[in-house]
Amino acid sequence: MSISYRDDIYLAIRTIRFAKMRSLLTVLGIIIGIVSVVTIVSISKGIEKQVSNQINSAGKAVIQIKPGVIEKKNSSDILGNLNSLSNINTVSSLTQSDIKSVQSTPGVEASSGINIISGQLSTTNGNFSEVVMGTGYQFPTVINHQLEYGEYFDPYSDDIYQAVIGKNLADKLFGNKVPLGQSFDFHGQTFIVRGIFKQFDSAPLSTSADFNNAVFIPYQTAENLTNNTAPIYEILAKASSVNNVDEVVNSINKNLLKLHGGQQDFTVLKQSESMALTTSVLNSLTYLISIVASIALVVGGVGIMNITLVSISERTKEIGIRKAIGATNTQILMQFLIESSVLSIFGGILGVIVSFIVDYIIGATTSLSPIIDLPTLGLAFMISLLIGVLFGSIPAFKAARKDPILALRYE
């Protein structure tokens, strides 16, 4: 780097230091845009990692049957659009007959219907609004996850009001990490805690529920509490072998089509397809939010262009003096391009710092685990530099073309 360029960078940094508030307001749009882009990309990467962990933990033999139709691309069998990512709040097309059909399908080792019901849990420590899921007794086998304490539901027990809870919820509800035998009230019934799951690294087969803070009750009990009105969120099945997953998927799909009168109002997914679906949706969301964020970046770029024009106007005589002692148009051009780029990168640095703070808050308060990696940081700084060059070029060219005589006479 030449001495001239080092001096220009030093001058740009000194300008930012002497006008901190003006510089901060100038790059505010860039900060907002960078925070938006980095945050959504880091959340997307975090969810992709969660889904990958789900496949590794639950196993590739798990099959999901969801209400609604998912379109598949015929050429590569990669999932396209989904009518809805979450079917909790929609009318489910799945029925009790579908659950029985999946259970009896040849090649299915274990299966479980899942429904989710709302309501408050009441304990001696107060009332809590938590996710309550109705599941079959084979649920732990399907998701390949064990209990740390106690046992899961006994299908032959007459006690239908029993529950298993996530590890994080145990201390929250009861102030006790092993509250076996303790009770809570839900929908007017008293449930006894029968077991506590081991810690989930991520919510298996779900990006919307935190299983460490969920309550699991028998499926039929959930149906009874809601008078058989609780919609079936999904049906899970586990093939007896990874090698016959495709065959089991085809059999399940064929049997359900018969039950639904030939109407394809459900979708049977392999684990690889579930991951492709999540990735596709996340990429679409990332793209859309990035477009919105680009508006803030453009606003920030216009701010840099305006402040550079003001700076050129204030320093017209300086430009004339530099040209009079031999500075070329290229040197003047580079001086102001470097100033606008340094200002833009300054906004990018602040944007990344704020992004780390935002991602930390998201990670601490939700089940999401955003990931900021080096490519994401590189993208943020490249965007910042590009904005500085693009929006600083017009004022820089204007400064470079100034007539030295007129510039020296400028008052």
- 320, part of any domain: yes
Asked whether residue 314 falls in the same domain as residue 393, the answer is: yes
> What is the pLDDT at residue 106?
92
pLDDT digits (tens, 9 = 90+) for 265-288: 888 888 777 777 777 777 777 777
Residue 81 pLDDT greater than 60, yes or no: no
- 83, part of any domain: no
Q: Greater confidence, 369 or 352?
A: 352
Q: Indicate whether this model's pTM tops 0.75.
A: no
Asked whether residue 242 falls in the same domain as residue 341, the answer is: no
Among the ranges given (199-203, 229-233, 298-302, 346-350), the one the predictor scored with the smallest mean pLDDT: 199-203
Asked whether residue 250 falls in the same domain as residue 142, the answer is: yes
> What is the pLDDT at residue 128?
87
Is there a contact between 204 and 54 (Cβ–Cβ < 8 Å)? Answer: yes
- 291, part of any domain: yes
Boundary residue ending a domain (233, 264, 295): 264
Residue ranges making up the domain that contains 170: 94-264
Asked whether residue 157 falls in the same domain as residue 28, the answer is: no
pLDDT digits (tens, 9 = 90+) for 313-323: 877 787 788 78
Boundary residue ending a domain (229, 264, 299): 264
Q: Among residues of the chain, what percentage have pLDDT more than 70?
A: 87
Asked whether residue 43 falls in the same domain as residue 127, the answer is: no
- 394, part of any domain: yes
Asked whether residue 99 falls in the same domain as residue 247, the answer is: yes
pLDDT digits (tens, 9 = 90+) for 168-216: 888 888 888 888 999 999 998 999 999 999 888 765 555 456 788 889 9
Asked whether residue 232 falls in the same domain as residue 123, the answer is: yes
Asked whether residue 224 falls in the same domain as residue 369, the answer is: no
Q: Greater confidence, 375 or 409?
A: 375
- 349, part of any domain: yes
- 219, part of any domain: yes
Residue 54 pLDDT greater than 70, yes or no: no
Tally the domains of the chain. 2
Q: What's the per-residue H, E or C state across the chain?
A: CCHHHHHHHHHHHHHHHHCHHHHHHHCHHHHHHHHHHHHHHHHHHHHHHHHHHHHHHHCCCEEEEEECCEEECCCCCCEEEECCCCCCCCCCCCCHHHHHHHHCCCCEEEEEEEEEECCEEEECCEEEECEEEEECCCHHHHHCCCEEEECCCCCCCCCCCEEEECHHHHHHHHCCCCCCCCEEEECCEEEEEEEEECCCCCCCCCCCCCHHHEEEEEHHHHHHHCCCCCCEEEEEEEECCHHHHHHHHHHHHHHHHHHCCCCCCEEEEEHHHHHHHHHHHHHHHHHHHHHHHHHHHHHHHHHHHHHHHHHHHHCHHHHHHHHHCCCCHHHHHHHHHHHHHHHHHHHHHHHHHHHHHHHHHHHHHCCCCCCCCHHHHHHHHHHHHHHHHHHHHHHHHHHHCCCHHHHHCCC
Spatial distance between the Cα atoms of 15 and 261, rounded to a whole number of angstroms? 73
Boundary residue ending a domain (197, 232, 264): 264
Asked whether residue 17 falls in the same domain as residue 135, the answer is: no
pLDDT digits (tens, 9 = 90+) for 101-150: 999 999 999 999 998 888 889 988 888 888 899 999 999 988 888 899 99
Residue with tokens 């996340």: 282
- 319, part of any domain: yes
- 104, part of any domain: yes
Q: Greater confidence, 320 or 80?
A: 320
Residue 39 pLDDT greater than 60, yes or no: yes
Dihedral, 144, 147, 150, 151 alpha carbons, nearest 10: -10
